[in-house]
Amino acid sequence: MLTENHALLIDAGNTLVKWAVVPFPVSGRSCMTLHADHASHETFLHEKIGHFLAHPNLKKICISNVAGPHFADEIINQIGSTVPCNFITSVAREAGIENAYEDPGQLGSDRWLAMIAAYQIVRGAVCVVDFGSAITIDMLSASGRHQGGIIIPGFKMMQTCISKGLGHLPCPSELKKKPSLLGTDTVSAIQSGLLHPVTALIEKLLQKNPSQQDHVSLVITGGQARYSGLVDLPNTLYRPHLVLEGMACLLQRPEL
């Protein structure tokens, strides 16, 4: 039972919903390391959210939603007017970083929050990579200016495309961590083709980043990150709940 006032942070992704509970109001400015849980969209909406709404000490709900309008409508119906609720959207400038998009709101809230958290953690030039249903890569300069980003299919999405498009080939049943560069059979060759182009792209960005910084940290997140092998690179941080950490940073603003 939660005995102190708290806020519920919700990260509704394409595949799963993650959530964390933090004290409210939040003091300090740095991002906090969070313990988070996850469930399917349906399980969260029909089994989990009700438990939190029943707590009298729940004072705030913050949501990053890239799951689509149906999820937003469902959760609004669940919450009603019982607790103040805020859907995070990307803006031009916030928490020390500047959005590169001409239309700032077009940038996904998950990417925006991940960049906010990463910049607060590193306090310098950083490459932020989220290995989710899609793989997103964003670069921030040392001054916090967003240089732009890249979106490519996630590992499982690529695996599904190969399986459906080339059904006669023996597609790997699961990803293998750090496969050899050159495969010695069809399965290992596909494994290499899934993983190595992505890691090579990230390593190239770190070596020749648009901001021309001498030192760029790498912060990675997402459920498929463990297969990339990038956690072994120097100056790399793995933060599994980076989007929620960014939300916790913003929760310190009095207007949120």
Helices 186-207 and 155-165, packing angle to 10 deg: 140
Query: Which of 40, 60, 87 is the endpoint of a domain?
Result: 87
**Total Cβ atoms within 10 A of residue 252:** 15
For position 66, what pLDDT does the model report? 96
Distance from chain centroid for Cα 52: 23
* 92, part of any domain: no
For residue 209, the 8-state DSSP code is -
For position 134, what pLDDT does the model report? 93
Distances (CA, A) of 242 to 54, 109, 129: 27, 12, 10
Both 120 and 215 in a single domain? yes
Phi, psi of 166, deg, nearest 5 = -130, 60
Both 60 and 141 in a single domain? no
DSSP states of 138-177: EEE-TT-BEEEEEEEE-HHHHHHHHHHHTTTS---SS--S
* 254, part of any domain: no
- Tokens at residue 120, please? 């607060």
List the chain pLDDT tens, one digit each, 256 residues. Answer: 566 899 999 999 999 999 999 988 876 655 666 788 999 999 999 999 999 999 889 999 999 999 999 999 999 999 988 899 999 999 999 999 999 999 999 999 999 999 999 999 999 999 999 999 899 999 999 999 999 999 999 888 887 787 777 777 776 666 666 778 888 888 888 888 888 899 899 988 888 765 555 588 999 999 888 777 787 777 789 999 999 999 999 987 766 6
The H-or-E segment that residue 75 falls in is helix 69-79
The count of structural domains within the chain is 2
Both 198 and 116 in a single domain? yes
Degrees, nearest 5: CA angle 72-77-79: 95
Write out the catalytic residue numbers: 110
Both 76 and 107 in a single domain? no
* 62, part of any domain: yes
Name the pairing type of β-strands 97-98 and 93-94: antiparallel
Output the domain CATH number for residue 66: 3.30.420.40
For position 30, what pLDDT does the model report? 56
In terms of residue numbers, what domain contains 206?
102-245
For position 3, what pLDDT does the model report? 64
3-class SS at 121? helix
What pTM does this model have? Answer: 0.90
Distance, CA of 134 to CA of 42 (rounded, Å): 21
Both 121 and 61 in a single domain? no
